[in-house]
Amino acid sequence: MLEQETAREWVLEAAKELFYNRGIQAVGMDAVRNGSGVSLKRLYQMFPSKETLVLEYLRQRDSQWRRALADHVDAQATPEDGIVAVFDWLYQWFSEPDYRGCAFINSFGELGAISAEIAEQARHHKKAFHDYLTGLVKASGRPAELADQLALLAEGAITTAAISGTPEPAHQARDAARLLMRASGQCVRADSALTR
């Protein structure tokens, strides 16, 4: 059983690197076999189709990505600091030498029109990220619609950084997020003053 788990890890590690760096459609199962060192027969026993492998790659990436973000943000002292830390974490991610944008946007662009399950996995990831931002916004006592605005800033930064090849969109989005937080904080104070 341990050998089976190890082989599965090798396959997923190879798939993660190949799919993210080259694109899903450009990578065949032969390339995954070569990258993992697992025989093609065994590979198909674990993943009966390329789509099942892609879906597992995306599920694993979703879990790892969200855990890494939460670990960084949860270390902050206040909810406001946590919101700003989202964009600082994005800057670190964008600075990685192999940054190629969002795996979910990329997979949706490649296969979303032909695979309902892959499209759904991309939607799930984006909704989970939005829900996470919503939790941070609620904890900060700001209006719920701020989460929508922060999500747009983050998603725009993710795409712009991939296209431009620089991590700076994260800092630009962080600065815009601070302005939005300041404006929403003033609205909250004004609303509470009116209700007194």
DSSP 68-92: HHHHHHHTSSSHHHHHHHHHHHHHH
C-alpha 38/C-alpha 173 separation (Å) is 42
Q: Are residues 44 and 62 in the same domain?
A: no
Q: Which CATH number do you get for residue 19?
A: 1.10.10.60
**What is the mean pLDDT of the segment spanning 68-92?**
97
pLDDT over 90 (residue 185) = no
**What is the mean pLDDT of the segment spanning 18-34?**
96
Q: What is the domain count for the chain?
A: 2
Segments forming the whole domain that contains residue 13: 1-48
pLDDT score of 193 = 44
pLDDT over 90 (residue 184) = no
End-to-end CA distance of the chain: 66
Higher per-residue confidence, 64 vs 4: 64
**What is the mean pLDDT of the segment spanning 183-187?**
73
80 found inside a domain: yes
Task: Using only the alpha carbons of the chain, give its radius of gyration.
Answer: 20
Residue type (1 letter), 164: S
pLDDT over 60 (residue 19) = yes
pLDDT over 70 (residue 90) = yes
**What is the mean pLDDT of the segment spanning 96-117?**
96
Q: Are residues 103 and 146 in the same domain?
A: yes
pLDDT score of 3 = 76
Q: Are residues 25 and 77 in the same domain?
A: no
53 found inside a domain: no
162 found inside a domain: yes
How would you class 11 by CB atoms within 10 Å of its CB: exposed for 0-12, middle for 13-18, buried for 19 or more? Answer: buried
Range in 2-11, 17-26, 81-90, 136-145 with the lowest mean pLDDT? 2-11
Q: Which CATH number do you get for residue 102?
A: 1.10.357.10
Q: Are residues 44 and 66 in the same domain?
A: no
